[in-house]
Structure 1
């Protein structure tokens, strides 16, 4: 059966045939197209640039690293990346600034959550928007930006969405809902959920660096997301807020 060309096409890069079959069935049942790649070379063979809308990459490929492919994609193409990782992998390396992965999920994962993550990332890149005519909902503002808690988006002064990963958004919303309070790292890790609880404070530090790049005018001199040494972080909404 010929694929509907309007469907976003997902490249599934995993060296386990059973996993590839399961994931391809899942994404196809969810309204996406799927192309399976057992290794990096197979993904490269898709073309330059590859005609796919998102790359779903397993971190641990047989004899090679999914990070290598993620870095290759980010350096050359505007293709969103979702990483699949094992519980023993170091998350701060996966979501580090050098890889540019848009989101990640730890195995075993809920299939519905994976589909939701894929939809969210595609929407940020302008593919398959979640709901036509989605209206802005209740929000919390700082400077000229607004966190829309209904649609789970960060909007700039022009109402355009600022792309955030799932973890970045969850962290930012928690900060703006708890302004002017020093929040220790363990509390932030708890807020991010059970998929983060095995990881150390460094995970939070990496996310903070990424958030500052997106919300601060001068990331090296933040005025909203501030560090309180040995204590944690505090969020200042600005002079228009008590």
Structure 2
């Protein structure tokens, strides 16, 4: 039987600068990806409706009254498609806000295409489920307080059997903490472990990701019982393991 060719991963580029759109289209198509381009929010929605998109490269500053942060919030409210923010502003506040609304990474313009490719591959790689290995299945499941975190399938399921949709960053953060219950992690360590590369570790970046994660896993995010803060240090996972 003839095997079907592997599906090319599909990138949606959202940027109002036609030169940047054309540059990214040419570069990523040469690297073997499918690319759809959009100049604004309306075209982005059309691309998401017509295509199965694997990742979005989203410019922060867009015309028409809808900026990248607004569009990132809209996408994140409906799906967990990875988002990499592209922007000409390299302000720390912009970067933190982008991560707060659910972006998986943030790249300032002007950028090197090879860096964008490396960042994109890293985000997509973290999205891929691990190969199924039956004998390691028990090691791939973390159970706590009735919850089940499936590391192989990258799924989080409640005690009632409902799946909780997590972004790439949220899943990696929870997996890192849940693998080591009782261990206190500094913000710098969490940044290194969840991104897999060297980044400037801003306190608010990690705090924003933890806050988003708490909203999904804590009964009362203001009084967390699973992910607790350690004053002046970082965070610790205190969920009790369950069989």
Q: Shared fold (TM-score greater than 0.5)? A: yes
Three-state SS of the structure 2 residue aligned to 1:12 is strand
Say yes or no: does 1:19 pair with 2:27: no
Change (3 A) 1:238 1:78: closer
Q: 1:164 to 1:200 in 2, by over 3 A?
A: same
What is the alpha-carbon distance in structure 2 between the residues aligned to residue 114 and residue 185 of structure 1? 23
SS of 2:193's equivalent in the other structure is helix
Q: Distance in 2 between matches of 1:177 and 1:45?
A: 37
Structure 2 SS opposite 1:154: strand
| More displaced stretch, 86-95 vs 212-221 | 86-95
Per-residue deviation, 1:207: 0.9
SS of the aligned residue for 1:19 comes to helix
**TM-score for the superposition, normalised by structure 1:** 0.69
CA-atom RMSD, angstroms?
A: 3.8
> 1:230: how far off?
1.7
1:57 aligned counterpart, secondary structure: strand
Relative to structure 1, the CA distance from residue 203 to residue 18 in structure 2 (aligned partners, 3 Å threshold; closer, same or farther) is same
**Aligned ranges 1:71-110 → 2 under 5 Å:** 71-73=73-75, 80=81, 82-85=83-86, 88=90, 90=92, 91-96=95-100, 99-101=101-103, 103-104=104-105, 106=107, 109=115
1:58 aligned onto 2:58 = yes
Aligned to 1:35: 36
Deviation at 1:118, TM superposition (A): 4.6
- TM-score, normalised with respect to structure 2: 0.69
Q: Conserved in 2, the CA contact under 8 Å of 1:24 and 1:35?
A: no
Instruction: Indicate whether 1:183 and 2:188 are aligned.
Output: no
- Contact 2:102–2:167 (CA under 8 A) maintained in structure 1: no
Q: CA deviation at 1:233?
A: 1.4
Shift of 1:68: 3.7
- Give structure 1 stretches of 5+ with no counterpart: 1-5, 124-129
Give the superposition deviation at 1:226: 0.7
Maintained 8 Å contact 1:137/1:150: no
1:146 has 2:148 as partner = yes
CA contact (8 A) 1:12 1:56 kept: yes
SS in 1 for 2:225: coil
Q: Say how many residue pairs are matched.
A: 220
User: Match of 1:95, SS?
Assistant: helix
C-alpha contact (below 8 Å) 2:147/2:159 kept by paired residues: yes
